[in-house]
Amino acid sequence: MQARIPKSAALAALIALLAPALAQAHDEAPGLPTVTTALSPLPKSPIPDVTSLKTIKPAKAVDEEAFREKDVWGRIRSGYAIPDVNNELVAKHANWYATRPDYIARTTARASLYLFHVVSELEKRGMPTELALLPFIESAFNPNALSSANAAGMWQFVPGTGRDFNLKQDAFKDERRGILASTDAALTYLQRLYDMFGDWQLALAAYNWGEGSVQKAIKRNQAAGKPTDFESLADLMPAETRNYVPKLQAVKNIVANPQQFGLSLPAIDNKPYFTAVDKTSDIDLTVAAHLAELSVDEFKALNPQFKRPVITGDEQTKILLPKENAEKFHLNLAQWTKELSTWTTHKITSARESIGTLASRFHTSPEVIRQANNIPQKTVLKAGSTILVPKISTSANLDIAPDVANTATVEYEAERANSGKSANGYKHAKVSLVKAHVPRDAAKSKSHRKSNH
């Protein structure tokens, strides 16, 4: 039996479910600073039908049969193509999920926003549709998930692997969290691993453990005259990788027949949930949410890649909105008469530029500057840092240059505890907003060592 979630309540329910996870995200800012321009109520007017918006459409190559399904779960079931695993580990994980219906409810509610897009992309590429369930294992479909190895997003990319697949990570956004970019990168990576090994189970093991590690295990079994399929290599794998494919199989079994496990899945409409909207200039995150008539938390659920209170970047930067809110966004934007962005950047050229003096210069408070730039209390900025500051009249019409957004870093050091200490008494810390490269194999072998159970 399937319980249908009313459309009008879906996003609100998801935000309530995400709230604890958002609070636990390791690198989230304490909160968005108050913008200097107040957001006045939007004029109320009828929302006309808008047919010109570009929605995220399924692939042309997708069999039309897929769209006759009433919900997305049916499309996933009809595209299963990875050989089944049937062992004690599968039974163990299926039992774990079956005895935790609340966990299933939270995860599937999050998934309801993203699954249509993921399944459509898999069908377009001719890939097995059960791969759409992989974020269930990786992140419980939480795009703000962050592992102890700094693997981020729904698909859990570490920084180096993310850059290998063109996921931008700069001062203003982290595309490892972005729904469109990370899904494209993950499916490209999985397809490449399948092409390398010719076996989806080994491709999944490599996604978790690293392709180099899987290749070494294959060579070791070949040298010993042993088979090289997933189950034959399992004893050579770390525990997490050994459990990885069985976990996915357990979820696959539950989706195939939830009633058998005493569970129900929320019906997910077989149509796009969100629309991609072009961003033509810098816009405050709070203003974008206001124009779309969404709360900031609702906006961030579809746009978790944006790390700062202003959305900047090149002309290709897009924001995702529920279809009805995209219509409201365009209508309200056409009537907006205030600034879209209240932020700009400032480069620290001297250690004499304290946060207090900067706050005075830019007509704000030290707390606002610290929040906007994730600067801890009791620290001072070092020369060379590029930080966000509120716009003043001389910079009111200027967007933040892409090269600034791509290269900005913040460096700070602890305040001197005793005025008599020398400069050597400082504790130095550098926060680079452009992460150091992590070798793919080493990174992936560490990124999934923590169970998502």
**Domain-wise residue ranges, the chain:** 3-30+57-269, 343-431
pLDDT number for residue 15: 53
pLDDT number for residue 49: 37
Burial class (CB in 10 A: 0-12, 13-18, 19+), 320: buried
Other beta carbons less than 10 A from residue 8's beta carbon: 8
User: Does the 3-30+57-269 domain belong in CATH 1.10.530.10?
Assistant: yes
Give the three-state DSSP class for 285: helix
pLDDT number for residue 115: 98
Other beta carbons less than 10 A from residue 399's beta carbon: 18
pLDDT number for residue 449: 38
- Burial string for 67-93 (b: 16+ CB within 10 Å, else e) reads eeeebbbbbbeebeebeebeeebbeeb
How far is Cα 422 from Cα 425, in angstroms, rounded to an integer? 5
How far is Cα 407 from Cα 435, in angstroms, rounded to an integer? 11
> Which residues are known to be catalytic?
138
pLDDT number for residue 136: 98
Say what the alpha-carbon torsion angle 9, 12, 15, 20 is, to the nearest 10 degrees: -90
pLDDT number for residue 426: 38
Neighbouring-strand partners of residue 429: 412
Nearest one of 258, 263, 278, 298 to 73, comparing CA atoms:
258
pLDDT number for residue 415: 82
Residue 276 · residue 180 · CB < 8 Å: yes
Q: Which positions of the chain have pLDDT values less than 50? A: 1-3, 5-8, 19-38, 43-62, 419-453
Nearest one of 389, 330, 327, 322 to 355, comparing CA atoms:
389
**Prediction pTM value:** 0.79
pLDDT number for residue 429: 43
Neighbouring-strand partners of residue 344: 389
